[in-house]
Structure 1
Amino acid sequence: MRSLIRDTNFDFMGRYRLSLIVSGVMLVVAILAIAIRGLSLGVDFTGGYTIEVGYEQAPDLNEIRATLAEAEFPDSQVQTFGTSTDVLIRMAPPEEGADSATVSDEVLQVLSDNSDSTVSMRRVEFVGPQVGEELREKGGLAMLSALFGIIVYIWFRFEKKFAVGSVLALVHDVIITVGVFALFQIEFDLTILAALLAVIGYSLNDTIVVFDRIRENFVTLRTGTPTEIMNESINQTLSRTVITSGTTLMVLVCLYAFGGQIISGFALALIIGIFIGTYSSIFVASEIVLQMGVTKEDLMPVEKEGADLDAMP
């Protein structure tokens, strides 16, 4: 596994100030984007209709938006879906009590009357406002539950300083990934939430590999300061990190480029998350543990009372 990158001796821990500045800038931009611009929530969270229609020829999206606005379907989100002749329309419920069949028939009639080509209905989906609110609450609860479980797992497997470092790194990853979606107003739906949970798992796995080598070297290496031991540990796992992240990114880039509109947001969230997660497992999680003052004594196995007496003949 180390054959790709061998005999490296990078001073990762010596870049503490630089990594602090980089992470600080990214976090500030992400938090401001979330607070000021907000997330462009999809129908999954806001409630409303998702209608997919097909045209014989590529239509003018601006003309479709104007047509829907004139027909009392304001604020409709119109975009191509897959091909230039497939159009996806997202809209809030026009009135209470309207069912999906009625709304879809009205939309199809309006589009057909204002188009020279034949318009066909592909699919209609409806999410009620209460369901959307429930999905938001359960999504946030799932995120918090995952972070709490990680704290407990790391605390028992390693040490509380490692638990703090890993959770802060994961929060760092999630905020920056969500901030990118808020900054560029990319639609945030259930698939993006699923991608964030996947990012948490991926980033944690990468951090665990680094932490495991750090713990092993703290026990086995008799000389060296905590900074030197952590640098050695990260250099030893660098090849594995590059191979794992690189191969995963290749797959995700292909999914983003060729997977179509329905999976592009999911792939984009994972691409951003893996970049940030790889960075945080090296520079954020490990740096936090080092700054909290981890020592050999924290990771040395605790000797049981009476062990010396048991060893005597």
Structure 2
Amino acid sequence: MTSKNNVTELIITGLFQDPQVQRVCFVVFLLLYLATVVCNGLIVLTVSVSKSLRSPMYFFLSYLSLVEISYSSTVVPKFITDLLIKIKTISLEGCLAQIFFFHFFGVTEILLLTVMAYDRYGAICKPLHYTTIMNQAVCHLLVAGCWLGGIIHSMVQILVTVQLPFCGPNVIDHYFCDLHPLFKVACTDTFVEGAIVLANSGLISVISFLILVSSYVVILVNLRNHSAEGRRKALSTCASHITVAILFFGPAIFLYMRPSSTFTEDKLVAVFYTVITPMLNAIIYTLRNAEVKNAMRRLWDKKVNSGIE
């Protein structure tokens, strides 16, 4: 019987093969990653110190930004470093760890976006009971539930993957470790494992997205009874969240709700949701939210004034 421990190191093909293109990508993706960390970090800092941002919406937003930094950091730093290396390698243990944390933070973000939709539903459709529905204890429980859901999801993925035998070849056709590319180098049939991943990852994305969409359908129906100013403010807040949800759920459903493939488009879609989306989310929530912008401005003014003194 073939040993399952023959492969201890994996070779990653990367995104592009041309060295010149890789050097350009290094600069571009490094700037995007730094922007992701800075922008999301500013949101976390602003919400934590600003007394005007104490509502549940901003409580969840600060955790979403924290998850965005963590989610992007599981893939992007190594991806950027690999752009300067001719032969890109990762240990099998490192690959499994990357898969675990990538899916952990990814599903935590999906669940947080769903919770944020429920929060908007409570604020707009149940305003008289909102403070009771979304009190501090409930908010903390919901966030804890999101983290727990992410851990359970990732444990299932890893338990499925760690039992597979890897005896060669050891080349992964991707720029980071993910389940479908890793399944392709297992020296056994992975149909059952692929079906489990499809059910686990795909259904979480679809069910959460349907809950989110249903929440906003109810919200839109209820907005007919609000004043023009109330509708404008509510729609402005909801538009940011809907945009972020579509940017995240769209690629996730595209990649995990169908059989695995070797399409180049898969890598490009993965670049979008690992590198670009975490940065765009912070920008969208900042630029479209007057309260966050004003709080950041006050924080900056306070910093400048204290520096002058």
Normalization by structure 1: what TM-score? 0.29
**Whose radius of gyration is greater, 1 or 2?**
1
Identify, as 1 or 2, the structure richer in helix.
2
* TM-score, with length taken from structure 2: 0.30
